């Protein structure tokens, strides 16, 4: 039966595919695709875990047999027998083999997926006693996961190749693919940035999550992958079943489950239209971003990893405006790496980014962890706090000077290979500025004592806290440029948790207070002859391109996939004529209405 789930549209386009559910577990498990030649190895890992748990239960049963009724009631022996039966159940073992063989899931993912399938069957049983056996099954699977945790395989560097749906084929049936050739869409309650980083290398045609807001990092990374996504869909992961056919409408924020042929045909047409529009935009790739009145505009790229520079150059970016270096520090446990990257590992990563941009500048933001970007294992310990207001970004770095100095040395060394701008996140206090500058001097001094080669960097600060936006002159005494992080600036100005779908409707980039802070920052930088850019989601949203041009912004940094659409807006704009209109937007009680009105 066809039904629809509504959420927040965060990445445009239409995706049609079979649902892959990532199941929440009491144990963190890795989710990744294996190569076909790894199928037998993964099945053997499950088999070994099952045998180990069976031995464990057998020993427990033997111990229980030696105990008297007062020490071990007969119900305990019966329970262990049930666990043994569940462990050997063919529905479990055959299902796990299916997910590994047909979908190329890693062993842990296959096990939790089959757990979810069988658990649904238990939920539908009328007999209360049998329904309660679901908890026993969960315990058995959890024992197996514990057994596998210490021997988890390294993440597969390359996912298996799948056939893409032929969107340009008018007669193509998007539901015709089966097995490893079927397009896949990911359905989850939530995804951490680390999960997203792994899936970024993968083959999903779209994403849906129960939670998250328009600028949650799940949404940001989904946009960075340039695939349709809907977040804040609340109960989607409970309503959608494994392998259901699903349509994701990333423009409207709608998820359609088990669509009828008529609905499929309609969305298939929309999908093809989207592909044609993207094709038209690619013709602008080599065209300079210059307004009708001759104003040159720098369109820069936001990246997470050095390898993303390839996409940035391909999209026509004239530099990297934001390298989110924290992604080098995340998901390391899952990859069986050391907790933090050392200086040499970071230096090599930054150097690859510089070399990847082929002489164009690279802006590296120092580590910005905390809040919705925890390092491995940190999230649980912060549940009782408000992490967005806690120890994150530069506060984290200043609290761990050794870690920060390591990163600074690596960045300075990489600057010997090309133009690097060093960007500091979330500064608010003059004392933090002084401490940061002192540590940068100390990093240079340490490199001097080692005789290491390093380069000159331009120093910049993020403006993402209202306090910073209101004390610009202090910042401009010390920094060469400022970069406005609109995502956090909106969050902190309006007191809206940008990852909380319950208050997502209050997250308003066009709020007069937000626009005033952005406008004043641009104006003051221009007055003092300092560089200024916007690197938040607002920079890649074509709704705001004309306004930012009218306010005097000439440097936009966004995900590479958004560059061509913004460039199209720039090419159609007359920056001089937009200046007075931009001021009218600032002075309006309802700026959003002015922005959306035809001109």
Catalytic residues: 217, 535
Length reported for the chain: 599
Can you tell me the distance from the alpha carbon of 331 to that of 437, in angstroms, rounded to the nearest whole number?
29
Residue pair 200/181 in contact by the 8 Å Cβ criterion: no
Backbone angles phi, psi at 110, to 5 degrees: -60, -40
Can you tell me the distance from the alpha carbon of 302 to that of 288, in angstroms, rounded to the nearest whole number?
19
Can you tell me the distance from the alpha carbon of 14 to that of 40, in angstroms, rounded to the nearest whole number?
35
Which structure tokens are listed for 10?
A: 């965060």
Closest alpha carbon to 11 in 505, 490, 537: 537
Residue 483 CB neighbour total at 10 angstroms: 29
Closest alpha carbon to 85 in 130, 42, 128: 130
Q: Which residues are CB-contacts of 56 (< 8 A; sequence separation ≥ 6)? A: 143
Can you tell me the distance from the alpha carbon of 553 to that of 556, in angstroms, rounded to the nearest whole number?
8
Residue pair 522/239 in contact by the 8 Å Cβ criterion: no
Residue pair 410/452 in contact by the 8 Å Cβ criterion: no
Beta bridge partners of 210: none
Can you tell me the distance from the alpha carbon of 313 to that of 99, in angstroms, rounded to the nearest whole number?
37
**Does residue 12 come out as left (phi exceeding 0), alpha (psi in the -120 to 50 range) or beta?**
beta
Residue pair 103/117 in contact by the 8 Å Cβ criterion: no
Q: In 3-state terms, the chain is what percent helix, strand and coil (to 5)?
A: 50, 15, 35
């Amino acid at each position: 039966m066809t039904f629809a789930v509504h959420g927040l549209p965060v990445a445009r386009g239409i995706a049609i595919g079979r649902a892959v559910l990532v199941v929440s577990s009491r144990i963190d498990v890795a989710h990744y695709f294996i190569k076909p030649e790894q199928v037998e190895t993964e099945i053997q890992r499950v088999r070994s875990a099952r045998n180990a748990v069976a031995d464990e239960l057998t020993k427990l049963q033997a111990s229980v047999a030696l105990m008297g009724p007062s020490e071990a009631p007969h119900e305990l022996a019966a329970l262990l027998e049930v666990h043994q039966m569940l462990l050997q159940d063919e529905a479990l073992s055959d299902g796990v083999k299916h997910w590994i063989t047909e979908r190329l899931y890693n062993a842990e993912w296959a096990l939790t997926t089959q757990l979810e399938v069988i658990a649904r069957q238990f939920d539908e049983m009328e007999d209360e006693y049998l329904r309660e056996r679901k908890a026993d099954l969960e315990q058995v699977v959890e024992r197996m996961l514990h057994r596998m945790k210490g021997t988890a395989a390294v993440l597969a560097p390359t996912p298996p190749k799948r056939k893409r749906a032929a969107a340009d084929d008018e007669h193509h049936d998007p539901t015709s693919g089966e097995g490893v050739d079927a397009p896949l869409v990911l359905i989850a309650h939530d995804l951490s940035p680390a999960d997203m980083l792994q899936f970024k290398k993968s083959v999903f045609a779209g994403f849906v999550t129960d939670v998250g807001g328009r600028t949650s990092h799940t949404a940001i990374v989904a946009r960075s992958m340039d695939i349709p996504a809907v977040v804040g869909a609340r109960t989607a992961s409970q309503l959608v079943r494994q392998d259901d056919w699903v349509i994701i409408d990333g423009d409207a924020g709608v998820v359609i489950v088990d669509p009828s042929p008529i609905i499929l045909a309609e969305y298939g047409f929309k999908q093809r239209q989207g592909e044609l529009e993207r094709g038209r935009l690619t013709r602008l790739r080599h065209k300079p971003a210059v307004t009708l009145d001759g104003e040159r505009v720098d369109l820069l790229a936001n990246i997470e990893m050095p390898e993303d520079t390839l996409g940035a150059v391909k999209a026509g970016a004239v530099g990297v405006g934001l390298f989110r270096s924290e992604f080098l520090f995340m998901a390391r446990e899952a990859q069986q790496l050391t907790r933090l990257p050392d200086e040499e590992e970071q230096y090599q990563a930054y150097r690859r980014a510089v070399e990847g941009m082929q002489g164009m500048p690279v802006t590296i933001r120092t580590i910005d962890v905390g809040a919705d970007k925890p390092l491995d294992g940190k999230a649980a310990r912060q549940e009782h706090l408000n992490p967005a207001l806690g120890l994150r970004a530069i506060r984290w770095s200043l609290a761990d000077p050794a870690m920060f100095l390591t990163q600074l040395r690596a960045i300075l060394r990489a600057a010997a290979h090309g133009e690097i701008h060093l960007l500091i996140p979330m500064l608010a206090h003059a004392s933090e500025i002084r401490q940061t500058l002192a540590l940068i001097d100390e990093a240079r001094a340490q490199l001097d004592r080692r005789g290491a080669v390093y380069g000159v960097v331009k120093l910049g600060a993020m403006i993402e806290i209202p306090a910073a936006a209101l004390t610009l002159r202090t910042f401009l005494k010390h920094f060469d440029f400022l970069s406005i992080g609109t995502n956090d600036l909106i969050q902190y100005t309006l007191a809206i948790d940008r990852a909380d779908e319950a208050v997502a409707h209050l997250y308003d980039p066009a709020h007069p207070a937000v626009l005033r802070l952005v406008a004043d920052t641009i104006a003051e930088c221009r007055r003092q002859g300092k560089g200024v850019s916007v690197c938040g989601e607002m920079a890649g949203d074509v709704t705001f391109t004309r306004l930012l041009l009218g306010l005097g912004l000439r440097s936009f940094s966004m995900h590479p996939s958004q560059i061509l659409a913004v460039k199209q807006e720039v090419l159609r704009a007359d920056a001089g004529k937009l200046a007075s209109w931009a001021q009218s937007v600032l002075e309006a009680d309802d700026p959003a209405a002015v922005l959306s009105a035809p001109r």
